[in-house]
Amino acid sequence: MTSRALSVRRAPHRRRRLLLGLAVALVAALSPAGVAPPAQAAPTLLSQGRPATASSSESAGTPAAAAVDGNTGTRWSSAFSDPQWIQVDLGARATISQVTLAWEGAYARAFQLQTSDDGATWTTVHSTTTGTGGTQTIAVTGAGRYVRMYGTARGSAYGYSLWELQVYGETGGSTPACGSANAAQGRPATASSTENAGLPASAAVDGDTGTRWASVASDPQWLRVDLGSTQTICRVVLTWEAAYARAFQIQTSADGNTWTTVYSTTTGAGGTQSLTVTGSGRYIRMYGTARATTYGYSLWEFQVNTTGGGSGDPSIPPTDPRNPNLGPNTYVFDPSTPTSTIQSRLNTLFTQQEMNQFGPQRYAVLFKPGTYTADVNLGFFTQVAGLGLSPDDVNLNGHVRVEAFWMGGNATQNFWRSAENLSVTLPAGVTVERWAVSQAAPYRRMHLRGGQNQIQLWNGGDGWSSGGLMADTRIDGLVVSGSQQQWYSRNSEFGNGWTGSVWNMVFQGVVGAPPPHFPNPSHTVVAQTPVVREKPFLYVDGTGEYRVFVPALRTNSTGTSWYGKTPAGSSISLSQFFVVQPGTSAATINAALAQGRHLLFTPGVHHVTEPIQVNRPDTVILGLGLATIQADNGTVGMRVADVDGVKVAGIMFEAGTTNSPVLMEVGPAGSSASHAANPTSLHDVFFRIGGPHVGKATNTLTVNSDNVIGDHMWLWRADHAASGVPTGWTLNTADTGLTVNGDNVTMYGLFVEHYQKYQTVWNGNGGRTYFYQNEMPYDPPNQAAWMNGSTRGYAAYKVGDGVTSHQGWGMGSYCYFNVNPAVVADRAFEVPNNPNVRFTNLVTVSLGGVGTINRVINNSGGTANAANQQVYVTAYP
């Protein structure tokens, strides 16, 4: 007998008072004070006398049944620990409208009321963390056969104790029908093995009956799908290829470790099998034990149907910050991973992605803090990043490099990849690291160790590269630009300086930058960065928890944010993020945002048919592996409200085949609030109109909010042929890349190319652009098709006629009118004549002399054409 039970028996007067209070309270709960209840059908008490069970009982004298016996002198009480629960089986499904809890002195401070159809999968219909005990009458909306009180925090040192648990409602509700939606489609899938890289687990849940998963030829083998949250599973449909299972089980699990078999057979016949099952779990798998052929197991599709039940909101599962599901295309290594395993994975990814610039595959390779030996050769749509708080927390002995083998040394198409938050020590005897890239390939928050080393920004031979970014980076040795045509370096440190120049090299806040000189060499040097926030990044803390670090805003800064110092900023647990998997609807994403969650997009193409709406200040949206948001059916991809401090980073936006008015909008039209103290910032945000398919969008990015910071963006329309890419003046249609209507907007490293009207339109005052790179559209069929009234063509950079203050540094525009070389652009930059609208160091280029840019800015500057391919203007006005 416990000491608490003895104390209760020694205080009979206390119990009498409780019983009297309970009787009064139960009557009062049914009728507001002083008011006679209206004549209406009252909900029925459904729980009395029904079977009840509990997680525990304090003693044999306080069973679960005592809380539903209608006797206010008996009670259920639990063991003295958290959590604990009591549930009642109503015998049939019912619509629940009210629950009354009559607590003994040992009450719940935090608890949920939950319903279920099967006693296994629960939906929360009421939740509180401020329970006060006494008698609580709670109106709820829900349905189920089972109802339970689930206590998570006690209000006393004792257990939980209820005199009565009363459930009111109406019987006769129907059990939910088995749905037809495929809950497995697009969800993360893993397998015990794959026959080869072309038959991955994900192919069985992609909704495409022409792709399949296949295992190696041995037993047993399995295919597992993560549904994202606990689901009530009612049907599994297996579409087998010829290599099917003769014996297999369908199994479910809550944690991916402990499995329950919900279907089993030893006489599988292959073909398409539709299996009725009863079970629940977050994970479901086909576990094959005997093959019907000499090959492995092979499934065209693995479909899962549910009744829609789940724990809480099934579409917005919690994120485990110590074991997050970062998707099947994210590979996380730690120092215990064998070097051969790491290198094999890296080699496989590079072989697949070296030339795969328009495929849907996206990958992230992440290294936990420690030391590794690896040669990281990056192909398209691959991100390599360290998971330390400092780049020096992860050191790779080897390389993190980009070559141009696939184009014979020409790196002008080495786009869409990134290296971040790592340090690199080159192998003994090697002194050259190569980062031969063009647009959308940031080298950010990196440390190349060794003062004797150099990083080459081209292939080191006769090829070319054309535009990149180095930011928040430390190079102990020398940076050699070689034939790199243009480059932007910001807030970095070059131990042995920089050598090289072609058309447009811009250095801002860089320690070790070359002396300012323009145009030969074409070095534009800006001593400080006026206001910037570095890109947020994922890391693992000392306890093993995944977190996102959000660097602080810096003003008038030079050098890195981390080398030789503690980075300033804030840290957010990944538990506060909704991890978005491909196939997640925009409605679900918006529901997560409405709950106050940040977003982490896993590698892949994320299709949306309504805008992602970001309304909450300081929301962080971070993509891994150049995660891509495709705007389908003519929708807008993302809208950001006119609020403080939103950060969007590592995301690509892609147009669908139906025209969108705009792909991303920051602030609604007419936004006017000042965000100077906490601006919204966009980091490594890229846009693509066309490429893998025909794409259409009138505008690409519109910035209406004030004080927005753009930190490296490439806005691109597909206008010239590549393998398998549909191009043409009337196919991939897009008027304008960037439109800025907000005031005091700053762009660092802005690349805008190939749009059919103005590339950039800037209507806000106080704008600043540091480094601008543009190519005009290649494909106007003739001059008549590309006229702006009486003006030939459209300027690459248009500052609105009403603007009274604007500045630009290190800006270039190029033409290559290969469809019709007779086409002329009257000017590259078109701006109001105002002493406060100023430009420093401009260049125009006729690439190979194919086409003409008649003037650089307004009516100033010479003509770029076949006879004079580069023209420079050092200052305007």
Confidence at residue 308, expressed as pLDDT on a 0 to 100 scale: 56
Mean pLDDT of 696-708: 98
Hey, what are 359's tokens? 């495929």
What does the chain come to in residues? 877
User: What's at 687, amino acid-wise?
Assistant: F
Strand spans (E) along 341-425: 363-367, 370-377, 382-386, 394-401, 418-420, 423-425
**What digits encode the pLDDT tens for the residues 204-234?**
998 888 899 999 999 999 999 998 877 889 8
* Paired residues of 99 in beta bridges: 138, 167
Number of CB atoms found within 10 A of residue 308's CB: 17
Count CA atoms closer than 13 A to 353's CA, side-chain side.
Answer: 27
Put residue 472 in one of left, alpha, beta given phi > 0 → left and psi -120 to 50 → alpha. Answer: left
Report d(CA 234, CA 653) in Å as an integer.
36
| Residue 537 pLDDT > 90 | yes
Distance CA 298, CA 195 (A): 9
Q: What is the pLDDT of residue 724?
A: 67
Distance CA 754, CA 750 (A): 14
Q: What is the pLDDT of residues 118-134, one digit of tens each?
A: 787 777 788 888 899 99
Strand, helix or coil for residue 2 = coil
pLDDT-based confidence at residue 722 (cuts at 50, 70, 90): low
* Residue range 292-320: mean pLDDT, rounded: 79
pLDDT digits (tens, 9 = 90+) for 137-183: 998 877 888 999 999 999 999 999 999 999 998 776 555 667 777 88
360-418 pLDDT, tens per residue? 999 999 999 999 999 999 999 999 999 999 999 999 999 999 999 999 999 999 999 99
**Token pair for residue 839?**
């430009």
What mean pLDDT comes out for the span 719-728? 78
- Residues 503-528 have pLDDT tens digits of 999 999 999 999 999 999 999 999 99
For residue range 776-804, list pLDDT tens digits in order. 999 999 999 999 999 999 999 999 999 99
Backbone angles phi, psi at 617, to 5 degrees: -55, 150
| 41 confidence band (pLDDT: 50, 70, 90) | very low
Distance CA 579, CA 226 (A): 13
Largest CA distance in the chain: 108
The confidence score (pLDDT) of residue 310 equals 40
Distance from the Cα of residue 622 to its chain's centroid: 5
One-letter-per-residue 3-state SS of 278-338: EEEEEEEEEEEEEECCCCCCEEEEEEEEEEEEECCCCCCCCCCCCCCCCCCCEEEECCCCC
Residue 814 exposure: Cα atoms within 13 Å on the Cβ side? 23
pLDDT at residue 347 in the model:
97
- pLDDT class of 317 with cuts at 50, 70, 90: confident
Instruction: With cut-offs at 50, 70 and 90, classify the pLDDT of residue 186.
Output: confident
Q: How far is CA 565 from CA 191, 371, 494, 549, in A?
A: 44, 21, 17, 15
CA 797-803-806 angle, to 5 degrees, is 65
CB-CB contact of 629 with 348 (8 Å): no
Parallel/antiparallel/unpaired status of strands 824-830 and 852-857: parallel
pLDDT category, 863, cuts 50, 70, 90?
Answer: very high
Q: What is the pLDDT of residue 315?
A: 59
Nearest to 465 by CA among 493, 503, 431, 497: 503
Q: With 60 as the cut, is the pLDDT of residue 311 above it?
A: no
* Close Cβ partners of 290 (under 8 Å, ≥ 6 residues apart): 219, 245, 246, 247, 248, 266
Element of type H or E holding 361: none
**What does the pLDDT average to over 18-29?**
37
- Between 172-176, 442-446, 805-809, the lowest mean confidence (pLDDT) is in 172-176
Residue whose pair of structure tokens reads 């590549």 in the numeric block: 722
Question: At 356, is the secondary structure helix, strand, or coil?
Answer: coil
**d(Cα 873, Cα 839) in Å, to the nearest integer?**
9
Q: How confident is the model at residue 741 (pLDDT cuts 50, 70, 90)?
A: very high
871 with 864: CB under 8 angstroms? yes
User: Residue 338, preceding bond cis, omega within 30 degrees?
Assistant: no
If phi > 0 it is left, if psi is from -120 to 50 it is alpha, else beta; for residue 465 that is beta
CB 798 within 8 A of CB 830: yes
Residues catalogued as catalytic: 775
Which residues, including other chains, have CB under 8 Å from residue 33's CB and lie 6 or more apart?
A: none
Question: Would you place residue 258 in the very low, low, confident or very high pLDDT band (cuts 50, 70, 90)?
Answer: confident
Look-up of token digits 């650089």: 856
Whether residue 85 is predicted with pLDDT greater than 50 in this model: the reply is yes
What does the pLDDT read at residue 778?
97
Check residues 577 and 19 and name the one with the higher pLDDT: 577
As a three-state string, the secondary structure of 466-531 is: CCCEEECCEECCEEECCCECEEEEECCEECCCEECCCCEEEEECCECCCCCECCCCCEEEECCEEE
What single-letter amino acid sits at 208?
Answer: D
Task: Tell me the helix, strand and coil percentages in the chain, rounded to 5.
Answer: 10, 45, 45
Q: How far is CA 634 from the centre of its chain?
A: 21
CB proximity list for 422: less than 8 A, separation 6 or greater: 367, 384, 385, 386, 391, 394, 395, 396, 400, 446, 447
Mean pLDDT confidence for 602-614: 96
Percent of the chain scoring above 90 in pLDDT: 81
Specify which residues 372 forms β-bridges with. Answer: 396
Given a cut of 60, is residue 25 above it in pLDDT?
no
User: From the centroid of its chain, how far is CA 677?
Assistant: 26
Which residue has better confidence, 682 or 181? 682
Q: Are 837 and 764 in contact (CB under 8 A)?
A: no
Which tokens go with 360? 């849907």
Residue range 683-699: mean pLDDT, rounded: 96
70 vs 176, higher pLDDT = 70
**Which residues are CB-contacts of 877 (< 8 A; sequence separation ≥ 6)?**
833, 835, 837, 838
Q: How much is the average pLDDT of 32-54?
A: 65
Q: Is 162 helix (H, G, I), strand (E, B) or coil?
A: strand
Residues 6 or more apart whose Cβ sits within 8 Å of residue 529: 490, 491, 508, 509, 554, 556, 557, 558, 748, 770
Across all residues in the chain, what is the average pLDDT?
Answer: 91
